Amino acid sequence: MTTVGILGGGQLARMMALSGAPLGLRFKVMDTAPDACAGQFAPMVVGDYRDEAALAEFAGSVDVATFDFENVPSESAAWLAERIPVFPNPRALGVAQDRLAEKTLFRELGIPVPPFAAVDTREGLDGAVAEVGLPCILKTRRLGYDGKGQFRIRTADDIDAAWAALGPQADSVGLIVEGFVAFQRELSVVAVRGRDGEFRTWPLTENWHVDGVLSASLAPAAVDDVLLATATGHAQALADALDYVGVFALELFCRDGELLANEMAPRVHNSGHWTLEGSETSQFQNHLRAVLGLPLGDTRMVGQACMLNWIGAMPDAATVLAEAGGHWHDYGKSAREGRKVGHATLRAESRAELAHALERVGQGLGREAQVAPVVERLRG
């Protein structure tokens, strides 16, 4: 019996464990929260991911370790990697944890990025804004997620407020200024690379964010072959450079037909949740296959899929469950503003049918605004 250890016990760990059950896998899930949502799978609650006694116990009880949480301290990942196989490797995790290291690597690999500059001081912020140009965004280099730790600088008058908001974190997590990209579309490549270097991607996904949080994903994104090949090539270059093993996502802005890389997520990704029902092999199962050195599964789509995120509180399930292609995921979390508590995936044979299903669900749940941009894209 193989046991997979997962650092972080959120919904990603939970979906990984559910997807790994048919493979006969066992799981051990480490988290700092006693009520973590994957807690029903052999939970291990720790005060701190750096706790060496806890890490030793974890290493002694699993065959391989992976992550649900990208901000596990890289020294903890490195400590484990000296004792058991850890995928993705700690270097890849470390690069993806730091927006400056990540964007620097993208640029080295020839992957276009928005202009960016590191910021250490208040004076440095003035210089960085001058270098990058307005409008721009001040972001924390580390620990940001769901758009947290970001401040938009529209005019020079916003610089003081940006520094007041994030300057106190300059020494602890570091800061970076990035040019604001007036994109037409946001896309993500969800990809998997095996231990032997085999590389596969799922069909490109288009994403919509509200207040920095993913709201909806549509696959396949309607793109031409050149754009698809470019996006896939960027993801493969990145995976090969990092000797990456497992699933990751590369987030891209598409502006006037040009792709600019925003960030990578060194783990299964919210924009790949549709793969559970919308593709031959889900991102969760392929991640497990990759880290265990098993053959990777086919990533082709079965139909057209749209994922809707539920933020803050769960809506009523009945409207989605009444749909022929409706699938419901309640993470069992308590309601809290801005928190991802669940999602639904709608699957259909054609884009027209998917648009109809989305309209019915939008009306049934009073969420017309959430489905509107997706319906518009499907009909456009």
If binding is defined by CB under 6 A, does position 209 make contact with ligand ATP? yes
Contacts with ligand ATP: how many residues (CB under 6 A)? 17
Q: What is the CB-side half-sphere exposure of residue 292 using CA atoms within 13 A? A: 23
- Phi, then psi, of 38 in degrees rounded to 5: -90, 15
All residues at 6 or more sequence positions from 97 whose CB lies less than 8 Å from its CB, including other chains: 70, 71, 74, 142, 266
Residue number with CB closer to Mg ion (79 or 248): 248
Among 31, 68, 98, 186, binds ligand ATP (CB under 6 A): 186
Stretch of 119-127, 166-174, 197-205, 246-254 lying at the interface with Mg ion (CB under 5 A): 246-254
If binding is defined by CB under 6 A, does position 144 make contact with ligand ATP? yes
Annotated binding-site members for ATP? 99, 139, 144-150, 178-181, 186, 209, 262-263
Question: Within a 10 A sphere around the Cβ of 108, how many other Cβ atoms?
Answer: 10
CB of 162 to ligand ATP, least distance (A): 14
Whole-number Å distance between alpha carbons of 123 and 252: 30
Stretch of 98-106, 248-256, 268-276, 338-346 lying at the interface with Mg ion (CB under 5 A): 248-256
Which alpha helices (H) appear in the chain, and where do they start and end?
A: 11-20, 52-61, 74-81, 90-97, 99-108, 122-132, 159-166, 225-241, 275-278, 283-292, 318-321, 351-365, 368-379
If binding is defined by CB under 6 A, does position 328 make contact with ligand ATP? no
Residue 302 token pair: 């079965």
Q: CA Rg, the chain, in Å?
A: 20
Whole-number Å distance between alpha carbons of 349 and 21: 28
If binding is defined by CB under 6 A, does position 339 make contact with ligand ATP? no
CB of 215 to Mg ion, least distance (A): 13
- Alpha carbon 175 to its chain centroid, in Å, reads 21
Tell me which of ligand ATP, Mg ion, none is bound by residue 186, counting a contact when its beta carbon lies within the kind-specific cut-off of 5 to 8 angstroms. ligand ATP
Contacts with Mg ion: how many residues (CB under 5 A)? 2
Residue 286 token pair: 């392929």
Among 10, 20, 114, 362, binds ligand ATP (CB under 6 A): 114
CB of 90 to ligand ATP, least distance (A): 19
- Phi, then psi, of 21 in degrees rounded to 5: -55, -45
Strand order across the beta sheet in which 43-45 lies: 43-45, 26-31, 3-7, 64-67
CB of 178 to ligand ATP, least distance (A): 4
Site map for Mg ion, 262-281, x if CB under 5 A?
-x------------------
Question: Within a 10 A sphere around the Cβ of 184, how many other Cβ atoms?
Answer: 10
If binding is defined by CB under 6 A, does position 147 make contact with ligand ATP? yes
| Residue 222 DSSP symbol | -
CB of 70 to ligand ATP, least distance (A): 8
* Total length of the chain: 380
CB of 270 to Mg ion, least distance (A): 9
If binding is defined by CB under 6 A, does position 37 make contact with ligand ATP? no
Residue number with CB closer to ligand ATP (25 or 128): 128
Annotated binding-site members? 99, 139, 144-150, 178-181, 186, 209, 262-263
Angle between the N-to-C axes of helices 90-97 and 99-108, in degrees from 0 to 180, rounded to the nearest 10: 110
Nearest to 5 by CA among 73, 84, 52, 62: 62
Stretch of 58-66, 179-187, 279-287, 332-340 lying at the interface with ligand ATP (CB under 6 A): 179-187
Q: Prior bond to 373 cis, omega within 30?
A: no
Subset of residues 210 to 249 that bind ligand ATP, contact rule: CB under 6 A: 212
Site map for Mg ion, 151-190, x if CB under 5 A?
----------------------------------------
Stretch of 121-129, 173-181, 285-293, 348-356 lying at the interface with ligand ATP (CB under 6 A): 173-181
Residue 336 token pair: 């809290």
Q: Which residues contact ligand ATP (rule: CB under 6 A)?
A: 114, 137, 144-148, 178, 180-181, 186, 209, 212, 251, 262-263, 265
